[in-house]
Amino acid sequence: MGFILVEEAIEKFLLSVPIIVPFANVVTNIFVGTLTGIAIAMAMYWLDEMGKSKSQLRYEAISRLVAEKLPAIIKEREELELLIDENHKSMLEIIELSLSGFEEAVSSRNKKGIFRFLNKIHKLQKGRELEVKDIKDVKAILEQPNRTWKLKW
């Protein structure tokens, strides 16, 4: 609506100038078209800048959040790594002690010692104690009727 009023005003002005009267309509259309193009280009530029500023605001918000939270996350990760390393070392020590105890029990033919150390190793690996404690348990399992055997490696 505003451009129509501008077009009318420009056309009336150009009609008042005697030299331009034959070309007034053409000059008015060119001038109003140029003005419309400039206005649309400015509107598109403004919309583009507004889009950039929103994404820029998002970027800055994310950057602030990362800057605030990242040090605590890194510290927590480092603490967890230390705990894992300590746990790993203690597990290795227990396994090493159990294996050396097992070797000692085997060399001295100590059946209870062999079972005790095998049980420790099994408990570390599976999280539970062995079901078989001695040769009597093995015989009882082998004598069960309708037992299906599957070897697990």
pLDDT (tens digit per residue) in 95-139: 787 778 778 888 888 877 777 777 777 777 676 766 666 677 767
Over 70: is that where the pLDDT of 150 sits? Answer: no
Q: How far apart are CA 87 and CA 103, in angstroms?
A: 24
Q: How confident is the model at residue 76 (pLDDT cuts 50, 70, 90)?
A: very high
CB 116 within 8 A of CB 134: no
Q: What is the pLDDT of residues 80-107, one digit of tens each?
A: 999 999 988 887 887 787 778 778 888 8
For 70, the token pair is 């990242």
CB 7 within 8 A of CB 28: yes
Q: 3-state SS of the chain: helix, strand, coil percent to 5? A: 80, 0, 20
Q: What is the pLDDT of residues 50-69, one digit of tens each?
A: 766 777 778 888 999 888 99
